[in-house]
């Protein structure tokens, strides 16, 4: 069973987390159609990516940097604690 | 043993011609280069050659013929979608499939089974009713049926699903069928090759040359090719080819897994899908149960299988068919699916002139193979999108005119 070694809540089964997709840094501030449309487009090739993940039992949100070619997790940070840096 | 086989056994020169020939080298230039020798790419090559007389075509694949999602899907063909655009498109595909074996002169083992999408609650039933009405409006044989009809077609099913989520009705779609998927790719490959198309396996595209917004050539592991038209039909690797053409991707790659049981005597005639339990199954001509579920929970560019998938699937499957508890899983595998935000494909022209896209095939691509070939051949030949795919253009995400097919495309294959 795949697990995430989280610095905040310890080693937890990956199944307890829900992936909410690429991090866009914070809430979308620009409400224009162009800004909303831009969310659909990105670099979806295999690489290390910053993603939003929700941990259901603890109701905590994390930003996880994960290699989408190998599924290896590089860093796990609490969303509230990390700077609002969107996935490149 | 057939007489034909015996004849070959005693024949010194093997008399059966090869299904397609690969020239020793790539030509300097082609009218059209198709990336991806799966069902979609080969079908497009076939229709380009036979309907538009465009025969100077190369089909390139980094792997082997039909080795991507064409050979990894669960072979179901149906047209009971939700949006009118989707219904019209997939209906054309079903019609092409029904006469394809004759056209390609190959046994596709096309087997019409009937297709049940089960509802376990009122809200699912409402969506299924909606789908049935849209389908009927377009002349497609879909209707809402009760639990008794499901039981009659499939007496082994536990209508109460272990008392947890009783079946309250289903969408019945009579044309639902299963097809031998490899044969579709091989059939198109042979006919395309006979018409002059050149197929190169183990030939990866490493770059696409774009000059002043126009495609001018393709770089491959076997050298450079000049061409003004490139069709990308590489579901599972679409973001990479888009990047080569300098385009951003509305497609994300997520693994989709499937598995088969050990073979058993035929007992399951229809195809059974449960969107609420996230599982579906059919019985193949070999007697194996072909089973699948929803896509994996996150993006991943790999075809690894997971124990989590097969245990979750078995858990739900046993609610539907408790008697399968002693049956063994024989094989499991995965494909990389091109997921789009609205569960509809991305097809047609792009911002780069001469770069055409047949992508976004998520978990619903095999059933569209013939119609994709036909419409993409038209689009490439005329440099204008075929009317059946106008709504599927990439620009829909810029215009925010998405086509919500999730309820009809997810899980229900």
- For B197: left if phi > 0, alpha if psi spans -120 to 50, otherwise beta; the answer is beta
Interface contact A71-B341, CB threshold 8 A: no
Task: With a cut of 60, say whether residue B413 has pLDDT above it.
Answer: no
Instruction: For domain B29-73+182-250+342-409, give the CATH superfamily.
Output: FAD/NAD(P)-binding domain (3.50.50.60)
Q: What is the mean pLDDT of residues A37-61?
A: 93
Residue A33 within any structural domain of the chain: no
**Each residue's pLDDT tens digit, B287-315:** 999 999 999 999 999 999 999 999 999 99
Q: Pick the residue with more confidence: A43 or B149?
A: B149
* Sequence spans of domains, chain B: 29-73+182-250+342-409, 112-176+252-339
Residue A61 within any structural domain of the chain: yes
| Per-chain mean pLDDT for chain B | 94
Q: What is the mean pLDDT of residues B10-33?
A: 86
Chain B interface test: which of A2, A33, A40 (most B C-beta within 10 Å): A40
Domain containing residue A5: 1-27+47-88
Q: What pTM was estimated for this model as a whole?
A: 0.93
Residue A68 within any structural domain of the chain: yes
Q: What is the largest CA-CA distance in chain A?
A: 43
| CB contact set of B406 (below 8 Å; sequence gap of 6+) | B342, B343
CA pair distance A68, B221, nearest whole angstrom = 25
**Each residue's pLDDT tens digit, B49-107:** 999 999 999 999 999 999 999 999 999 999 999 999 999 999 999 999 999 999 999 99
Residue A36 within any structural domain of the chain: no
CA pair distance A23, A5, nearest whole angstrom = 20
CATH number at residue A63: 3.30.2270.10
**What is the predicted pLDDT for the residue at B260?**
98
Q: What is the DSSP string of B341-393?
A: TTSS-EEEE-SSBTEEEEE--TTT-GGGHHHHHHHHHHHHHHTS--GGGGGG-
Residue A77 within any structural domain of the chain: yes
The total number of structural domains that make up chain A: 1
Residue A38 within any structural domain of the chain: no
Pick B302's closest partner by Cβ from A2, A18, A69. A69
Interface contact B400-A69, CB threshold 8 A: no
CA distances from B388 to A24, B80, B293, B350 (A): 34, 16, 29, 17
- For B161: left if phi > 0, alpha if psi spans -120 to 50, otherwise beta; the answer is left
Q: Which fold has domain B112-176+252-339?
A: D-Amino Acid Oxidase; Chain A, domain 2 (3.30.9)
Contacts of A14 in chain B (CB under 8 A): 297
């Amino acid at each position: 069973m795949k697990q995430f070694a989280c610095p905040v809540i310890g080693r937890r089964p990956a199944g307890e987390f829900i992936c909410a997709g690429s991090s866009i840094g914070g809430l979308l501030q620009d409400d224009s159609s162009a800004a909303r449309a831009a969310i659909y487009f990105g670099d979806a090739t295999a690489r290390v990516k910053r993603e939003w993940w929700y941990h259901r039992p603890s109701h905590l949100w994390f930003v996880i940097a994960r290699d989408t070619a190998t599924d290896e997790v590089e860093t796990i940070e609490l969303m509230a604690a990390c700077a609002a840096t969107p996935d490149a | 043993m057939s007489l034909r086989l015996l004849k070959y056994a005693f024949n010194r020169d093997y008399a059966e011609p090869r299904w397609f020939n690969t020239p020793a080298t790539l030509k300097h230039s082609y009218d059209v280069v198709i990336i991806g020798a799966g069902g979609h790419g080969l079908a497009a090559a076939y229709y380009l050659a036979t309907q538009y007389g465009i025969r100077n075509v190369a089909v390139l694949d980094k792997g082997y013929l039909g080795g991507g999602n064409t050979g990894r899907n669960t072979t179901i063909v149906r047209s009971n979608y939700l949006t009118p655009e989707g219904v019209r498109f997939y209906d054309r595909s079903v019609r092409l499939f029904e006469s394809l074996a004759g056209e390609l002169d190959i046994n596709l083992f096309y087997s019409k089974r009937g297709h049940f999408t089960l509802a376990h609650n009122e809200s699912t039933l409402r969506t299924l009713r909606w789908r049935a009405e849209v389908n009927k409006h377009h002349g497609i044989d879909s209707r809402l049926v009760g639990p008794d009809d499901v039981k009659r077609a499939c007496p082994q099913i536990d209508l109460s699903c272990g008392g947890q989520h009783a079946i309250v009705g289903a969408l019945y779609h009579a044309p639902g069928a299963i097809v031998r998927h490899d044969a579709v790719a091989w059939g198109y490959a042979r006919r395309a090759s006979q018409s002059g198309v050149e197929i190169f396996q183990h030939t990866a595209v490493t770059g696409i040359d774009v000059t002043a917004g126009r495609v001018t050539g393709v770089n491959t592991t076997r050298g450079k090719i000049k061409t003004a038209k490139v069709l990308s039909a590489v579901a599972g690797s679409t973001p990479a080819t888009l990047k080569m053409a300098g385009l951003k991707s509305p497609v994300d790659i997520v693994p989709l897994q499937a598995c088969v049981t050990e073979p058993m005597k035929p007992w399951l005639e229809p195809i059974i899908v449960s969107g609420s339990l996230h599982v579906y199954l059919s019985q193949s001509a070999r007697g194996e149960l072909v089973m699948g579920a929803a896509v994996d929970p996150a993006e991943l560019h790999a075809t690894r299988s997971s124990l989590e998938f097969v245990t979750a699937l078995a858990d739900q499957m046993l609610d539907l068919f408790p008697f399968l508890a002693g049956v063994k899983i024989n094989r499991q595998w995965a494909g990389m699916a091109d997921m789009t935000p609205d569960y509809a494909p991305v097809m047609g022209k792009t911002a780069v002139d001469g770069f055409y896209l047949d992508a976004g095939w998520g978990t619903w691509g095999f059933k569209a193979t013939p119609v994709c070939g036909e419409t993409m051949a038209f689009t490439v030949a005329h440099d204008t999108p075929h009317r059946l795919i106008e709504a599927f253009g990439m620009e829909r995400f810029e215009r925010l005119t998405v086509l919500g097919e999730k309820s009809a495309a997810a899980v229900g294959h």
